[in-house]
Amino acid sequence: MPYKVAWFVEKRVLLSRYEGIITIEDARGQVREGNALLREGIPLTHSIIDMSAVEKLPSLQLASEFMSIDMSDVRDKLGWTIVVTNNKFLKFASSLFVPIFKVRQRFFGSLDEALAFLQEEDNTLPPLKK
């Protein structure tokens, strides 16, 4: 499976990692699993999506797939959504979802940078270490 979804900090910080070649089915699975965990989260629940090891994504069909997702039941719980990538196309594609889902989103080149940002932004989190 080219993705993993798990709590980085129980019920507060969700970490999704993609690697290799990603299919539309993988993206659907990650979103389904991630949203199920986010529903259990304690607000504000942050989401880190690490795409630093992605080799290939599906076409722009992925963008239209995400646009059809209903986020209404988790939106009020959601804090920051952080995407870890240096890929310009991924940054562009991910930025399309900000106005649709009305999320607070940032991009970082490494997981360390993402964790440092969250630590600074949310002082209710325990110390974040890889």
Residue pLDDT, tens place only, 40-98? 999 999 999 999 999 887 766 665 665 556 667 777 889 999 999 988 877 776 676 66
Record: fold of 3-121: Transcription Regulator spoIIAA (3.30.750)
Cβ–Cβ < 8 Å for 120, 128: no
Task: Name the percent of the chain lying above pLDDT 70.
Answer: 82
Each domain of the chain, given as residue ranges in start order, spans: 3-121
Strand pairing class (13-21; 45-56): parallel
